[in-house]
Structure 1
Amino acid sequence: MRTRTTTVILATTAALLAGCGGPSYDEAAEQCMAAVKALPAGAQRDDKPKACERMTEKDYSMIFMSKIFDDKGWTDENGKPDLNRILQPTPNP
């Protein structure tokens, strides 16, 4: 009886701990996207938010590039790159 109770307690504890491993990579990517979008315009790629620490360099680069495209107005209403907007001449500062 005592062995069975101990086994149940250990199994329950293990199951609870397995679900407490933190956010999944996809959830971490969403948190990173939100943190990058909150950066001021003109922020440099090296200004990596803490929420992006888990991202691979490739994934972080893609997230950061999406911010640049948004900041420049190069995306359509669905958030996808719009080649026509990218190729439009920009005024000289």
Structure 2
Amino acid sequence: MSSKLVAAEVFPPGEHLADELAARGWTIPHFAELIGQPVHVVADVLDAQIEVTPDLAAAISSALGTSAQLWLNLEQAYRSHSGAHGA
């Protein structure tokens, strides 16, 4: 039996963030206010239009109770796999 390796599917951090917001019942405007960012910044992260920077990762992690490194790792994995380089 041969075993074929299949690459894992990588999702942008915004998809993970959307799941987190939905699980908490938080709206984009509410989350933007929590992290001290304009609504368009959160919307752009959700749409993978901008990269999660170290400062943004710190704000997201503080609001969600995760580590900033988690969000930076998700961003790096997405950008590496997709060939995306930010907007």
TM-score, length-scaled by structure 1: 0.28
User: Greater Rg, structure 1 or structure 2?
Assistant: 1
Higher relative contact order structure (alpha carbons within 8 Å, sequence separation ≥ 6): 2
TM-score, length-scaled by structure 2: 0.29
